Amino acid sequence: MAIGRLSMKVGGKGKACAHSNYIERQGKYAHRLETGERLVATGSGNMPEWAQSSSQFWKAADEHERANGTTYREMEIALPRELDDKQKEKLVREWVKQEIGQKHAYTWAIHSPKASDGGEQPHVHLMFSERVMDGHERGPEQFFKRYNSKTPEKGGAKKANTGKHPLERKEELKDLRHRWEVMCNRHLRAAECRERVSLKPNNEIRQGEPEPKMLPSEWQRG
């Protein structure tokens, strides 16, 4: 059985740019690639016109998001060793297309560090903004302002918050993990691998972890 793991994280104001540099192994994090770790692939998308790079977008989020706001949400997902690099990248790109689509700015990166058994431990970081891309042009400062429901073009981009009950969010997290299991196993079958991943319900929240709170359909206020 291949490793199955999907964890959820949230980033506050001042954390986004550093985290994007971390997952893309840029700046002070570039040295990590000299220790045997591999950066398999990276990608980003749905960026506003003013963002010439993913770092520029996340820096603006840190600067202009309100003090108690969230700047990004992140999925961290284990990838099967049984897939080669191109197959892993294909799986991730299909996942991003399905779960993020055209609605949110995002950045992802596949890491493959050494594992304790001598093999590799491939996984993907997928961070994305909860601000919805609605077609209105906004500068970086306006983009992160509060949404104006009466005249959307005058306010910031809307956050996809739903204010759902924690139990409902937990159920939706189960659905997200199930979708990953289905897609991942389909890619394993296509690669003619006998291994399969499994994300069992009783492993949804590991003891001591905060309750997962990020799913495109289960936003919290932030």
Active site residues: 22
Are 71 and 62 contacting, i.e. CB atoms less than 8 angstroms apart? yes
The three-class DSSP label of residue 189 is helix
Euclidean distance between CA atoms 220 and 134, whole angstroms: 19
| DSSP per-residue string spanning 46-65 | ---TT-SSHHHHHHHHHHHS
Q: To which H or E segment does residue 127 belong?
A: strand 123-128
The three-class DSSP label of residue 36 is coil
210: DSSP letter: P
Dihedral (Cα; 96, 197, 24, 205), 10-degree rounding: 90
| R_g of the chain, CA atoms, integer Å | 18
